[in-house]
Amino acid sequence: MNIEHLTHWISGHEGALRLSVFAGLLMGLIILESLFPRKKRTQARLRRWFTNIMIVVIDSIILRLVFPIIAVGAALWAQQKGWGLLNMWSGPLWFEFILAIILLDGLIYLQHVISHRLPPLWALHKVHHTDRDLDVTSALRFHPAEILFSMAYKMFWVIILGPAAAAVIIFEVILNGSAMFNHANMRLPLWLDKWLRLIIVTPDMHRVHHSVIETETNSNYGFFLSIWDRLGRTYTAQPVDGHDNMTIGLSEHQDEGPRSLSWSLSLPFGRRWQEKIKTWL
């Protein structure tokens, strides 16, 4: 199968591809976490998992309602209009795919940095950081308003770059898969972690980002490629307290609140909205 046929196949089987990779990784990583845990849990899993999974269900519904077309649709629209830098590319398609994935990953790294620096975005993003344990379901825990912002941000850059729709699909599958991998509470051999993190973000590398220590929280922003943290000088090799003794989450929310769905959805809006949303859910 050549690259053109592969492109058509990916575009024609987008839903099945996304679902199979998501479900396969979710189940596989849950099993690996159980067999080879990296860090002892502080909370029971059931309620945490319910909250994190319900958040991604709500995210998906709202995303579809607000954006009839998402990043892949934006890529097709840009292609029809002839807009975007890569739509002017006359080189090999395989190289365009690689370039698009690298550039989009760098832009997601930039978005992550901005989400920590701008107070309105941090108010949304901190919902992700309040999870007091880190496992594969933590990769699903993003506030719906942040997901909407993230999709608008991604669509903007897709129109500017003009990548093929199949390249966007592959990137989003890689992004989601790598986020699930690097949030997993899974123990990798230290030698393997050392070599893997030269290229991709590993669970040990990303766990540092979820430390309650602010300097560690403001480091290791990457989701897929580790090079961006090295280039941006935001790389921290290991947590100061070690992985076994480090505290996950935010220092001001070391309580039972983050396990609650209503608490998590209302956190960015203050106590008044927390009480209202609590009555709805």
Q: What is the pLDDT of residues 251-264, one digit of tens each?
A: 999 999 999 999 99
pLDDT at 122: 97
Stretch 132-159: mean pLDDT: 96
Backbone angles phi, psi at 199, to 5 degrees: -120, -50
Element at 99 (helix H, strand E)? helix 93-117
Whether the predicted pLDDT of 185 surpasses 90: yes
Radius of gyration of the chain (CA): 19
The rounded distance, in Å, linking the Cα atoms of 59 and 221 is: 22
pLDDT at 9: 82
Residue with tokens 């993230």: 150
Domain ranges of the chain: 45-187+243-280
List of residues 6+ apart from 4 with CB closer than 8 A: 93
SS3 content of the chain, % helix, strand, coil (to 5): 70, 0, 25
Stretch 180-200: mean pLDDT: 97
Residue with tokens 């053109």: 4
| pTM for this prediction | 0.91
Core vs surface per residue 108-130: b (16+ CB within 10 A) or e: bbebbbebbeeeebebbbbbbbb
Stretch 182-201: mean pLDDT: 97
Neighbours of 212 (CB within 10 A): 19
pLDDT at 152: 93
C-alpha closest to that of 130 among 118, 138, 121, 120: 138
Percent of the chain scoring above 90 in pLDDT:
76
pLDDT at 14: 83
Please tell me the total number of residues recorded for the chain in this structure.
Answer: 281
pLDDT range class, residue 274, cuts 50, 70, 90: low
Whether the predicted pLDDT of 278 surpasses 90: no
pLDDT, tens digit, for every residue of 90-132?
Answer: 778 889 899 999 999 999 999 999 999 999 999 999 999 999 9
Q: Which two tokens stand for residue 39?
A: 């860090």
The rounded distance, in Å, linking the Cα atoms of 125 and 148 is: 12
